[in-house]
Chains A and B, each alone.
Chain A
Amino acid sequence: MRIFVIGAGQVGTTIVEALHAEHQLTVVDTDAGRLQAVSQRFDVTIVTGNGASRQTLVEAGVRDADLFIACTSRDEINIISSLLSRKLAPSAKTIVRTGNVEYLHVWRERELDFDHMVSSEEETALAISQNIGVPAAKQTDVFAGGQVQIVELEVDSHVRHPQSIGVPLRDASLPDDSRIVGIIRGDQQILPRGAEKIEAGDRIIVIGSPRAAREWSGLMTRGRRRVDDVVIFGAGRAGVATARLLLKEGIGVRLIEPNAERAREVADLLPKARVLQATGLDPEFLQRERISQSEAAVFAMRDDAKNLYAATLARLQGVDLTIAIAHEAVSVRVFEQAGVDVAIDPRRLTAEEIVRFAHDPRTQQVAMFEGDRYEVVDIVVRDESDLVGKPFREMPMTGTLIGAIVRDGAAFFPHGDDVLQAGDRVILFTESRRVAEVERAL
């Protein structure tokens, strides 16, 4: 593939690093120094110029591109250069990086004709909520911008649930808006037909709404404490995106923001969050607000040093789980060294998401379960697929199960009478060795 990468910053460089061996890359940036650094490390073509300029793109040979990745740190540049690429190379796939969740919504409503849009704020928020959202889950992944969640749960032998466990699935009372897509018993995969039961010791894989995922985890962890209080330090875009996601999952959020104007703005934006105007670096304040009683503290301030200081202070106060955002690549190691529980690098997450899409532009996201035996695949149904127009009850029961469908930007969880349509995004669970087969069928 001929791949264009606009922007040679941290995200661009990470993408180049992942893709340069297999593909032919052209990197465009206005900063000659940064390009020099990239070309010294990797065998790529470099072009100095504005990625949002038609002339630069044409001269760099954009017309022959197969994939166009706009990943500068400036949203508008990314959008304009991608719009140009749609014009100049209509057959090329486009991936756009944005920092603004609003633009992401515009794209999801199909007002922007790009193949994929990745927001670092959202990736960060998803990563954070994965770390605190569903405590019982062995593994959890979020798809379709947080609308669909996949959880793998272990059915503890001491969990007693006479209506749900040990009862044939068709009679069991289970959370709505979700489907069991796989039951793993020992080494064996059991297809979740109506006659099957969930038994103690099973591992089950469920695709459902975030609320259903929480219900499931509640079901499997009766008596265990629920996460309902998360403190977020810093109400920047990443902090707000995280708060928004957690609130949507029904988790209580306290936001701490030093800037009075921003605090007010955020309080206006998020009616359900409690916003406190403070630096978060004052032990007396942390003590008075009982920060230690929160289940997790997220540090999303702009300054890595402040994040580290505040996280350490929070640990001293007795917060169990500290998650800090690292803006510099090196900070991740510093944080981990200093005892921060989870360090998150938004640029790395963004680059990873872009690379994942670049591998198969149709498959939007892949999650692996049980090592790599099973996969959850997010794929768009082609018009010519044989399965289009078929109700679900008539689909063959192989090892593959569709857990959720995203149609017109909204997710739902299909039942027997629902019909698959061309252009649907399906989130399905399958054995890894069947992925190619499934992709062909759809």
Chain B
Amino acid sequence: MIATGLRRALSPAVGVDVPAAINLTGTLLKYLSLTAALPAAVAVGYDEPVWPFVAAGAIAGGTGIAMEVLTRGHEDAGIREGFLVVSLTWLLAAAYGALPYLFSGEDQLANPIDAYFEAMSGFTTTGASILTAIPELDHSVLIWRQFTQWLGGMGIIVLFLAVLPRLRVGGRQLLESELPGPEIEPLAASIRDTARRLWLLYIGLTAAEAVLLAVLGWTGVDDRMSVFNAASHAFTTLPTGGFSPEARSIEEFAAATQWVIIAFMVIAGANFALTYAALVRGRFRPLVRDEELRLYLFLLGLGAAVLFFEIWTEELYGASESVRHAVFHAVSTMTTTGYASTDSNEWTSLALVVVVALMFAGGSAGSTGGGVKVVRHLLIGRLLRRELDQTVHPELVAPIRLNVRVVDERTLRAVLAFVLLYVGLFAVGTLLIVADASRTGLDLRVIDAIAASATTIGNVGPAFGPAGPMGSFDPFSDFSKGVMIVLMWLGRLEIIPVAVLLTRAYWRA
């Protein structure tokens, strides 16, 4: 379908200015290539090979410039081209992210599919990993893993919207296709200022967490918490990523560290516009009154309570540990971070079902979390209630409200369409993974396949079984990994921008 679409695209009478989209994507890739400087600096600091990052940066930069040069004169990408730009950018970003892994000469990442999986999991803030022995990696490669999540969390394009003047045209639509949730809430008069403020807040929160964690390390509360670890975990908490340079996620860290991480995961999964209003402007009223936030916190509490009940009655841990693990895993799963404070693979099947349910709940709109998003559940709940009300009273006119404001019927339809696509893709993903597992003889329970599909489309991270929180996605075949790469990509962009590319109407004039 893409092939026919592209063929149409290249014929003269097309509705999409493909060269312009390629041109803009090239520009984005060119600037993205500069991000290799950070792991390169770390490599210099730890006396590790620098060339993988320099080479990756040079290749990405060169490709970007080549894309620009080849399409010179097509600099005006519009709203329509935006979908293509967003979809392409994320595919190319993951390719760029995979280069240092391939160049590092690390056996675990030698297979290009594995490297691409790891990079896609990074940029989409999923946190699923094919690595089997994480601590064997160089510091620079580890920090690159963490850094890709941090870049992908607030959005690559959002970042460039904040700094590049060129993207100002059509910026809103680009921002909407990258920021999670049905509608974006502008923080400032211009999209550029909004993007800038979001990034500043994101940087500020990341720095705050890094400092807090480092302080825990210095004061001896947590012996394992080095400065490297503090920075690494701050890089993957705020984007709700979930990568950790540790072998067993954050299990080895002190309880205090885990509670700090819980707090920052909760913030990362909440709407950044609300956090901005509260922290920067000192306006707490919208925060307190927000209906989505209330449901978000309620679901977190409910999930934690059920998990606690399950693991407490199973007597897996002591009382305070049970509370911590229940809260940690509820928060980590629902915000789609994917850290683990213990191996939840050992839990009962009811607890596992709760975890899968939390994967579908997802974070809030305007957060860095993945999944369906709490606000969509809220709106669908209200839609269903209205539907029932209208069966009895067909003439009833009842607009659906969110925080007093009436929600546009178009937005509601988009929400329904999104959830249908999401559930459909999740089902197809599960089916393909199950079929492939039986083909390759991989020992996989149905719940494991369900979790693998839900965790990748929801950008959560760990699944169950072999790919559990302390396990690896390595046992899956290349085909299954490919399916999951597509699911991560679709999940991060919230499906629609990609799905649009598959319609004939998009390409036609």
State the A residues within 8 Å of B (CB): 256-257, 260, 263-264, 266-268, 271, 274-278, 285, 289
Contacts and interface: CB of A to CB of B under 8 A. Distances in A.
A266 B397 CA distance: 9
B398 A275 contact: yes
A264 B400 CA distance: 11
B395 A278 contact: yes
A289 B399 contact: no
Contact of A289 (B393, B398, B401, B406): B393
B406 A268 contact: yes
B404 interface: yes
Contacts of A277: 395-397
Contacts, number: 31
A47 to B, nearest CB: 47
A266 B404 CA distance: 14
Contacts of B404: 271
Contacts of A256: 395
A285 B398 CA distance: 18
Contacts of A267: 397-399
Contacts of A289: 393, 395
A277 B394 CA distance: 9
Nearest to B401: A271
B400 to A, nearest CB: 10
B396 A275 contact: yes
B391 to A, nearest CB: 12
Nearest to A267: B397
Given A264-B399, A266-B397, 4 more contacts: A268-B406, A274-B396, A275-B398, A276-B395
Nearest to B405: A268
B406 A276 contact: no
A263 B397 contact: yes
Given A268-B406, A271-B404, A276 B399 contact: no
B404 to A, nearest CB: 7
A289 B392 CA distance: 9
Contacts of B401: 271
A255 to B, nearest CB: 9
B399 A268 contact: yes
B395 A264 contact: no
A292 to B, nearest CB: 16
Given A268-B406, A271-B404, A285 B397 contact: no
Contacts of B398: 267, 274-275
A140 to B, nearest CB: 32
A333 B152 CA distance: 74
A243 to B, nearest CB: 14
Nearest to B398: A267
21 contacts: A256-B395, A260-B397, A263-B397, A264-B399, A266-B397, A267-B398, A268-B399, A271-B401, A271-B404, A274-B393, A274-B396, A274-B398, A275-B397, A276-B393, A276-B396, A276-B397, A277-B396, A277-B397, A278-B395, A285-B395, A289-B395
Interface in B378-433: 393, 395-399, 401, 404, 406
Contacts of A271: 401, 404
Interface string B17-61: 000000000000000000000000000000000000000000000
Interface in B342-391: none
Contacts of B396: 274-277
Contacts of B397: 257, 260, 263-264, 266-267, 275-277
A271 B401 CA distance: 9
Contacts of B399: 264, 267-268
Nearest to B389: A274
A266 B399 CA distance: 10
A276 to B, nearest CB: 4
**Across chains A and B, which 10 residue pairs bring their CB atoms closest together, nearest first?**
A276-B395, A275-B397, A278-B395, A263-B397, A267-B397, A268-B406, A277-B397, A267-B399, A277-B395, A268-B399
Contacts of A264: 397, 399
A358 B59 CA distance: 86
A263 B393 CA distance: 15
A294 B406 CA distance: 28
A278 B394 CA distance: 10
